[in-house]
Chains A and B, each alone.
Chain A
């Protein structure tokens, strides 16, 4: 963990995390509902699944998926995830072939992600 991350966590951690002298942004309210947790897990999995499926596309098909108006690349999709999920997913993405990393998502799909995370 970088010094910047440490400083950020030290400033934004919960009182309970400070009490236990831990650097984490995990809070009880994030874990309060199993259903919500499932939704978040499902979202991360859906992204991963979409990318793995795109690995079967031909070069021409993949070109059709290049970022275009109304579409977003992987980096944008990851910004909808919480920082902890984003870090995990980013690590996995690094292990994927280039073709997977170039996957793009429609605006509707990103709206769905946003709904899952804000509700």
Chain B
């Protein structure tokens, strides 16, 4: 499933550049036959290749692999520099920071929502993240947010993102965003935890 999604993203990014498979394969340092298999989802795409495609084909960061649950628990306890991570993903509020290695926006959003004392300016960037990377893996994000009782924070961040899209009169993005989100709302993200928390 994941292979097919990444394969489609690779193909779309290649066609967006009007590149043939031969030319894209050359740029990615793989054979045309292998690229064809990747695009069809017949082979898993390594993180190294995805990172190369981010540069060469301008593949969106949502194609980056999401870490597994076991790694998740270990990494989430580490102190993170969310402002630099948002900067790397193109958030204009932190454009002045030096870009660092990019991570999947869904991972950054989850980790930030899970942070007990989140910097106010970072919190302001979370709705932007949800709005900009509307094609992120919501299934993974919602599942993990619910496991950590962060569904309220996620719901609020998404609500703000929807408001921002409306304020910018970005009809296309708003519709795309609402369609994606509504399907998850129906699946129970409205379940709220009892104690009031901060964002």
**A residues near B, CB below 8 A?**
1, 6, 9-10, 16-17, 20-24, 26-34, 37-38, 41, 44-45, 84-85, 87-88
Q: How large is the interface on B (under 10, 10 to 19, 20 to 34, 35 or more residues)?
A: 20 to 34
B93→A16 contact, CB < 8 A: no
**A interface SS class:** helix
A37→B156 contact, CB < 8 A: no
B193→A21 contact, CB < 8 A: yes
B198→A1 contact, CB < 8 A: yes
In the complex, chain B residues 161-178 whose Cβ is within 8 Å of any chain A Cβ:
162-164, 166-168
Docked Cα-Cα span, A34 to B195, in Å, equals 32
**CB neighbours of B153 from chain A (8 A):** 20, 22
B160→A85 contact, CB < 8 A: no
B192→A32 contact, CB < 8 A: no
Given contacts A41-B121, A84-B121, contact A20 B164 (CB under 8 A): no
* Contact of B159 with A by CB under 8 A: yes
Docked Cα-Cα span, A26 to B155, in Å, equals 14
